[in-house]
Structure 1
Amino acid sequence: MAPHVTDVLDKPGAQTKSVARGGLANMAGSALAGGTGVAVTWIVARSLGAEQAGAFFAATAAFVLGGGLAKLGTQTGLVYWPARLRATGRAHLLGACLRTGLLPVAAVSVVLAAVMWLAAPAIARTTAHEAASLVGAHTAALRVLAVFLPLQAFTDALLTATRGYRAMRPTVMLDRILRSTLQLLLVAGAGIVALSLPWFAFAWAGPYLVVTVLAAYSLKKVYAAGRPAGATTHRDERRALRRDFWKFTGPRALASVAQLALQRVDVLLVAALGGLAPAAVYAVAGRFVVLVQFANQGISQSVQPRLAEALATGERHAANHLYQTATGWLVLVTWPICLLVAHLAGHYLRFFGDGYTAGRNVVVVLACAMLVATGCGMVDMVLAMAGRTSWNLANVLIALTVTIGLDLLLIPRFGALGAAAGLACAMVANNLLPLVQVGRAVGLHPFGRGTRTAMVLSLACFGALPFLGLAGLVLGVPAFLAGVWLLRRPLALDAFKPMRRTR
């Protein structure tokens, strides 16, 4: 056994504690990022009005889609391969691995930024066809975002590479905290000064300039610390690595774009088929979904490198333990949010303005879909870490076909609610399909003791009690906290205790 493998084969309890430490910091950062995202949405909705807010959300959706395409699936490859190389005693290839993943992202992102710049007038005319006066401002906002698209793609790739070294701090500090805080401050400043739509776009995208520089420095630092002394590589090794890297990452590149399209294309379709005002209602109603996704990312990004190492060395028991424990934590964090948002949908939407209360049913539909999605855990990531990226691609393409087909059928008749139905069906398909595949092909499933306990506790406190009215809502929170404390052992919350130092 290679000496690098010993760290992978730790006892499950030790792995859980390690994941808990990284996951807790990432979860805290994700909570901050999700909260600032909601605050930014509130500022945009209140400052710009429904139509201009719809144009802003449509522009940022196009920006995120472009950035997702430019990353070429490296969100998985730049974690999977560094973790695998270290676990199998080939750490001398880490530098070649990073160059293989990062350089194409830099080149493709510049090309796509140019495409977005040139296509901005056409995108604006398509999504703002019912508000001709906004086409010019919408075009300018898209072009502002196009300038920052390479920075967004390269930042994510750099931070992904640091996570391949198990370094969670750069992601938490730079992406979750610094970028989110700067976005909130700059967008708030734009709202106070009452600036135009393009300036809002600049305020939202501008922080990527600072974060990109700091992310590059962080990767350089962790790479220098983990590089074997006197490491040399041969041309044949590098060539084989490039081939294997893109053989694994290629399907994931398409899958990641399709995954982003699942999350963003519906906003563009609502704008094109229903108008900018319904698009704003839909974007606001679904904002809590982004908060839940941040929680998912916060846990899964901490689990991902260790899961890749465990699967690379055949430690199925350790991998299953990590998957089930992380899913229990995810349910414990996200199900109360989804259930409360569903119960309080009207109050939640009124927070953004009276014009957004029409999205109440949208909130309920999406909340129910998120219960299913989070109950399966980070199943798509598990499938990818098991090397089944082609299966992952097929699943996401099926889900994308479902959402686009239902959107085209339902949006003209039902508006934002039709888009919500399409996304809900796609999310269910995109989680249940890989759930079956992971169980049959890899022998893993998320329904351990902690997951079942978290589900029952959340449903009792935030699903059933709120039907009693205000008293039930008030009682739900202390009942949930008491249940978490009493059930801390099956929920594996002891992993968050500080580890004692020994001489």
Structure 2
Amino acid sequence: MSTERGIEFEEQISERLAAVVSSTGLSVVGRCFAMALGLGVQIAVGSLLGPEAFGKYAIIIGMIVLAGTASRLGLSRGIIKYADSTDRQRSAPIFLTSIAISLVTGSAIAVSMIVFSAKIGRLFNFDVVTLLYISVWSIPFVAASGVIANGLRAFNSARDYIIIDLILKPSLVFVFPVSLIALNTGIVGALGGYAVAQIVIFLVAFSFVPRSRDDSLFVSASRASDLLRFSIPVLGSTLSTFLLLWIDKFILGALRSASEAGIYQASFKLASVLVIPSFALGLLIEPLFATLEEDVDQIRDLYPVFSRWLFISTITGFVLLIGFRNTLLSLFGREFIQGGVALMLIATAHVVHSLAGPAAHSLNMAVSSRLDLINTGIAVIANVVLNILLIPQFGYVGAAVATASSMALMEALRLLEIYQYLGINPFSKDHLRASIIPVLTAGLITALEIADLPQLIALLGATVGAGILFILGLSRVTIDERDNIIKDTLLRLIT
């Protein structure tokens, strides 16, 4: 890229990124807060109740969230499409209609799960029926609160979504179950606390719903039909992504034991912290690429920059996670340390995802969202087949191999498609040149191990040190002029 064109390119993109960086910063902080509390409640359940109860908790919650996600019918996307972004009161009927549909659908699914609970129970190697009775009635509230929180993004502000979905929800889902567990109520208290939390979340979220200025509570039947015709196809993509991330726990609970599912869930949950860089950059990329969808040349120029820094941040986290895997897993309990191999496999899959860069966003914005739906569907099918083949013999390690392989397959398909349709190849020697940050982090971990410090102190020191190295890298490492776009944006987010 010529110097003159590079400067012009940098100025154009920086202006566009500046428009979204403030709300993005709040969303990133909110997401980190939500993930920390989500990890906290899982550590509490695991450490207080043990692997078996933790596995049961994870599987039941997975069922509830799956049913709640299905009950939403993609309606929050429909709200975003049909609501008047400038007039909240005028948008009230579309909100109330969507909430009513999700409550009815969620209730129908909850009743169906109760009716067929005995058959569902026969799929697993533990008493599912009693645990379903405790928690299944939260499904309509899970669905409706999700519709409200995501639908409020129609008003071009992330504030309400952050309050409900990233602050209120994780806080209550942490406080209620942990409080009841502390009262020696066991897994019954954990699941009951989760269900009560979902009701409170819905009631608070409903207070954010716009109020109509007239007597019309709901939209007309034809309008509701249009809403569903648009929304339901979106559900396929959401459910495919959910199944890719949860089917392994379900199959583990069915073919092996709740205890193995618990050990695996702890490893999977810890590895999921590596998605934070991808989430943060995704918030920047999605609105930016939406404005560039007709300018493939600019997407092609910008892609390697995002890919490079996504890889650097993810691999740095990977080094920390693997270096202290036993310390982190022991937070759940000593029995969970045996999940270290599964943790390394899932974490490696996240690194592969970072190597591919923002492929999904590029395909959705510049080509077609159907392509990535197909990619996810293929990965889900591969995941199911591999889990069924590997889990009976290899247990949770087989589940980790299956899921990591399926995630890698999905990224390989995305890479082939962005190369075919956009002519983008994210790999270059620049990735190696910028890898000085994770290399130095690995050196820091080695030095702390030699110093023989207590593991939690060493973990804290390594995390702080890695953060300092990353910020210094943003300030000092410049491979070409396009790096200034990411450096300035990320430094603005950090500070």
TM-score, normalisation: structure 1:
0.78
Q: Distance in 2 between matches of 1:181 and 1:391?
A: 36
Residue 116 of structure 1 is matched in structure 2 by: 113
* Paired amino acid for 2:175: L
2:470 is aligned with 1:470: no
Per-residue displacement from partner, 1:310-353 (whole Å, max 9, x unpaired)?
Answer: 54xx3556766887776566545543322311222222212211
Bigger mean CA offset, 488-497 vs 258-267 = 488-497
Residue 15 of structure 1 is matched in structure 2 by: 16
Residue 411 of structure 2 is matched in structure 1 by: 431
Q: Is the 8 A contact 1:251 1:393 kept in 2?
A: no
| Correspondences of 1:20-31 after superposition (within 5 Å) | 20-31=21-32
Q: Distance in 2 between matches of 1:376 and 1:154?
A: 35
SS at match of 1:415: helix
2:172 is aligned with 1:182: yes
Give the Å deviation of 1:247.
6.3
CA-based RMSD? 4.0
Bigger mean CA offset, 199-208 vs 170-179 = 199-208
Give the Å deviation of 1:235.
9.7
2:162 is aligned with 1:172: yes
Q: Distance in 1 between matches of 2:163 and 2:432?
A: 32
Q: Distance in 2 between matches of 1:448 and 1:375?
A: 8
**How many residue pairs are counted as aligned between the two chains?**
462
* Paired amino acid for 1:194: N
Per-residue displacement from partner, 1:228-262 (whole Å, max 9, x unpaired)?
Answer: xxxxxx999x77x966x766654432222121111
Cα 1:447–1:404 shift into 2, 3 Å: same
- Indicate which of 260, 264, 268 corresponds to 2:246: 264
Q: Distance in 1 between matches of 2:77 and 2:46?
A: 34
Q: Is the 8 A contact 2:181 2:187 kept in 1?
A: no
Q: Distance in 1 between matches of 2:141 and 2:54?
A: 24
- Indicate which of 464, 481, 495 corresponds to 2:489: 495
Which 5+ residue runs of structure 2 have no aligned equivalent?
Answer: 1-10, 214-218, 452-457
* Paired amino acid for 2:142: Q
Q: Distance in 2 between matches of 1:351 and 1:386?
A: 43
2:356 is aligned with 1:376: yes
Q: Is the 8 A contact 1:349 1:359 kept in 2?
A: yes
Q: Is the 8 A contact 2:325 2:340 kept in 1?
A: yes
Q: Distance in 1 between matches of 2:122 and 2:321?
A: 34
Q: Distance in 2 between matches of 1:11 and 1:361?
A: 45
Per-residue displacement from partner, 1:133-186 (whole Å, max 9, x unpaired)?
Answer: xx2xx4233233321112212222222222243311122221111111122222
Q: Distance in 2 between matches of 1:377 and 1:492?
A: 14
Q: Distance in 2 between matches of 1:39 and 1:281?
A: 16
Q: Distance in 2 between matches of 1:462 and 1:74?
A: 44
Q: Is the 8 A contact 2:13 2:485 kept in 1?
A: no
2:440 is aligned with 1:461: yes
- Indicate which of 378, 402, 411 corresponds to 1:422: 402
2:480 is aligned with 1:486: no
Q: Is the 8 A contact 2:346 2:404 kept in 1?
A: yes
Give the Å deviation of 1:384.
3.6
Give the Å deviation of 1:124.
3.4
Q: Is the 8 A contact 1:55 1:127 kept in 2?
A: no
Cα 1:498–1:39 shift into 2, 3 Å: closer
| Percent identity (aligned) | 18
Give the Å deviation of 1:467.
5.7
Which 5+ residue runs of structure 1 have no aligned equivalent?
Answer: 1-9, 130-134, 225-233
Q: Distance in 2 between matches of 1:446 and 1:16?
A: 23
2:269 is aligned with 1:280: no
Give the Å deviation of 1:276.
1.0
SS at match of 2:23: helix
Residue 144 of structure 1 is matched in structure 2 by: 134
2:341 is aligned with 1:358: no
Q: Distance in 2 between matches of 1:58 and 1:399?
A: 21
Cα 1:206–1:334 shift into 2, 3 Å: farther
TM-score, normalisation: structure 2:
0.79
Cα 1:75–1:389 shift into 2, 3 Å: farther
Q: Is the 8 A contact 2:17 2:284 kept in 1?
A: no
Q: Distance in 1 between matches of 2:192 and 2:433?
A: 41
